[in-house]
Amino acid sequence: MLIFIAKRLTVAIPTLLVLIVLSFVLMHAAPGGPFTQERALPPEVLANIEAKYGLDQPLWRQIGTYLINVTTQFDFGPSFIYKDRTVNEIIANGFPITLTYGGISFVVAVLAGCTLGALAGVYQNTWLDYLAVGISIGAQVLPNFVMAPILVLIFTLWLGWLPGGGWQGGQWQYLIMPVIALSTSFMASIARITRSSMLEVLNSNHIRTARAKGLPIRQIILRHALKPAMLPVISYLGPAFVTMITGSVVVDFFFNTGGIGLSFVNAALNRDYAVMMGVTILVGALTILFNLIVDILYAWIDPKIRY
């Protein structure tokens, strides 16, 4: 197992470095810049600003300096738009918020999705199967940009039960609607994958043998069917977890949580290279990390993967 993990790490680190270089090149290749506005700055002023931030240097030197700062000091540099804030401060302020509601959304999506999918697979073609499939389809056709305004309309404007936005330190009443809006579509996908995998496993030979031996259905499901049925689900959970904990622009916009998702979009619109690079590296590193974790879990569940 250690050799398997070492091989994955030798691929992960160069992948992250290539991601940084490509992102840096693509952002600088796009026309315009962070200081290009509708009202053009005088050439002398623009030259001084670019010299201050090192944008007047050759691209290869900018990349080298950035890589050294990131790898040695974990410093993403100053924001080009928010003069009094660094990228590290922007990420430190926004990421814990998205990590909180994203992590809770992930747990809710996994528990609800796996439960619905497993029940639908075990009790195929019964009312429980139809109910689980109906809930999954309903959640799938209501993505978060549709679910969020519906939740605000019902629970805030009509019923007045929950606040329509804000964070207030992550109090529970401010968490409910963001978690529901973010987790429903992922829950539906997990339920669908779990149901299909469970149906396939329940029709396999080793399950038939277990039933022929007279084992209780509960023991068959928990000890013989659930573990192999989770393999396709686990491969989906890695990217899904990264997507949820790195922020949702829709959730940040509709509920005004102050998360990192909206900061990334604002940075892209304002051509704030430093913030875009910082968030891109964060998302890329988390994606590689959790794909590594998924690979390890996959190899632990199915030892054939190691070889």
Q: Which residues contact 54 (CB under 8 A, 6 or more apart)?
A: 62, 65
Q: How many CB atoms lie within 10 A of CB 102?
A: 27
Q: What is the pLDDT of residue 40?
A: 67
Q: Which residues contact 217 (CB under 8 A, 6 or more apart)?
A: 122
Q: What is the pLDDT of residue 247?
A: 58
Q: Which residues contact 131 (CB under 8 A, 6 or more apart)?
A: none
Q: What is the pLDDT of residue 282?
A: 85
Q: How many residues does the chain have?
A: 307
Q: Give the span between the Cα atoms of 200 and 114, in whole angstroms.
A: 15
Q: Which residues contact 246 (CB under 8 A, 6 or more apart)?
A: 95, 98, 102, 260, 261, 279, 282, 283, 286
Q: What is the pLDDT of residue 55?
A: 72
| Mean pLDDT on 253-282 | 82
Lowest mean pLDDT among 59-73, 257-271, 292-306: 292-306
pLDDT of 307 over the 60 cut: no
Say if residues 170 and 99 touch (Cβ distance below 8 Å): no
> What b/e readout covers 245-267, taking b as 16+ CB neighbours within 10 angstroms?
bbbbbbbbbbbebbbbbbbbebb
Q: Give the span between the Cα atoms of 18 and 305, in whole angstroms.
A: 26
Question: What's the pTM value of the predicted model, to 2 decimals?
Answer: 0.81
Say if residues 232 and 195 touch (Cβ distance below 8 Å): no
| Mean pLDDT on 47-55 | 73
Q: What is the pLDDT of residue 54?
A: 72
- Cα Rg for the chain, rounded, in angstroms? 24
Q: Mean pLDDT for the chain?
A: 81
The CA angle 135-139-141, to the nearest 5 degrees, is 120
> What b/e readout covers 289-307, taking b as 16+ CB neighbours within 10 angstroms?
ebbbebbbbbbeeeeeeee
Residue 58, classified by CB atoms within 10 Å of its CB into exposed (0-12), middle (13-18) or buried (19+), is: exposed
Q: What is the pLDDT of residues 200-248, one digit of tens each?
A: 888 888 777 877 877 777 777 777 777 778 878 887 887 788 877 765 7
Q: What is the dihedral of CA 160, 165, 168, 171, to 10 degrees?
A: 60
